[in-house]
Amino acid sequence: MPTTSPRPADLKLTGLIGTLRCAQLFSGLSGEDLTTIASFTQTVTLAKDDYLFHEGEPSRGCYLVQSGALNVHRVNAAGKEQVIHVFRPGESMAEASLASPTGYPANARAVEPSTVLLIPKAPLLELIGRRPDLALRMLGSMSVHLRVLVGMLDDLTLKDVETRLLNWLVKHARDAKNGVIHLRGTKRVLAAELGTSSETLSRTLARLRDQQLITVEAKSIAVHDAGKLAAMLRHNLGEE
C-alpha cells in the first residue's frame, strides 16, 4: 500500500513539540499542552553577532534556544560589556520580562549561528492564566538562572583572567573523564563566560599550555595536572 508522507507543517509542529519537551521549562507537560504551545511558537534564525533583543525593548515573549549559543549581557557606563550568561540549546531565557513593564533587562546576541524559539507573550500569558502549574515551572526555571548568576558573580569577583580560567578549569576537571573537558561552544563563548576577550583567553591558555599543564584542542581542553592548577588557583587567591 502507498504511504502518505507527513506534510511540512506537521513535521515542523512535531519538531517544535520535541524541542519544547526537552526543555526544563516545559518538561513534564502533557502532549496536549505542548501541542498548544507549539501552535503559537515562532522560529527565529540568527547569524553570528545578530541581536535577538536589546535592553529596554518591549518584551515580545520568552525564548528557548534550539541551536547555537546566545550571549546575554549589559553594557556599563564605561561602555564595557558584562556577560550575564551564555545560553545554549535547551535553555530558556527572558521569562522575567513577561511581567516587566520595562521590557528586556539586558541584550542578547548570537555568538555563533543560532536558532531560537519565540514563545509569544500574549498567548503564553493566557495559557498560564489557565494553567498555574506552568507558572510554577517558570518560577523554577528562573530560580535556576538565579543560582547560575550567583555562581558567576562569585567567579567574576576573582581578580584577573588567569585566576578565573584556573577556577573554571579546576571546577570542570572534577567531572571530566580522563581530564578532558569538552567545550559546549567555541572558545569565543568560553571567553564571554569568563568576562574577557578571545585574544586574552588565547594568551592565558597558551601560558598554561607552555607549562605543560593543559593541552588545547578545537573543542576540548585536556587537564594534565589538576593538582597543580588547584595550587596555582589557591596561590592567586592568597590562600597559601
Q: What percent of the chain has a predicted confidence (pLDDT) above 90?
A: 24
46 within 8 A of 81, measured Cβ to Cβ: no
| 161-173 and 132-156 helices, crossing angle to 10° | 130
* pTM for this model (two decimals): 0.66
Q: How much is the average pLDDT of 197-221?
A: 89
Confidence grade of residue 155 (pLDDT, cut at 50, 70, 90): low
> Residue 231 corresponds to which cell in the numbers above?
595550587
Strand partners, 221: 181, 216
73 within 8 A of 82, measured Cβ to Cβ: yes
| 31-40 and 121-130 helices, crossing angle to 10° | 160
Confidence grade of residue 141 (pLDDT, cut at 50, 70, 90): low
Distance CA 92, CA 95 (A): 8
Asked if residue 147 has pLDDT above 80, the reply is: no
If one compares 96 and 230, the residue with the highest pLDDT of the two is: 230
Residue 204: C-alpha distances to residues 10, 65, 122, 170, 190 (Å): 49, 30, 47, 15, 12
pLDDT score recorded for residue 47:
94
Asked if residue 45 has pLDDT above 60, the reply is: yes
23 within 8 A of 64, measured Cβ to Cβ: yes
> Residue 104 corresponds to which cell in the numbers above?
528586556
Lowest mean per-residue pLDDT among 31-40, 85-94, 155-164: 155-164
Q: How much is the average pLDDT of 135-142?
A: 72
Confidence grade of residue 207 (pLDDT, cut at 50, 70, 90): very high
Residues 6+ apart with CB under 8 A from 222: 178, 179, 180, 181, 214, 215
Angle subtended at Cα 88 by Cα 65 and Cα 121, rounded to the nearest 5 degrees: 30
Strand partners, 108: 53, 72
Confidence grade of residue 145 (pLDDT, cut at 50, 70, 90): low
Strand partners, 25: none
141 within 8 A of 119, measured Cβ to Cβ: no
> Residue 38 corresponds to which cell in the numbers above?
507549539
Lowest mean per-residue pLDDT among 41-45, 92-96, 146-150: 146-150
pLDDT score recorded for residue 6:
38
pLDDT score recorded for residue 239:
66
Confidence grade of residue 154 (pLDDT, cut at 50, 70, 90): low
Lowest mean per-residue pLDDT among 98-107, 156-165, 222-231: 156-165
Asked if residue 160 has pLDDT above 70, the reply is: yes
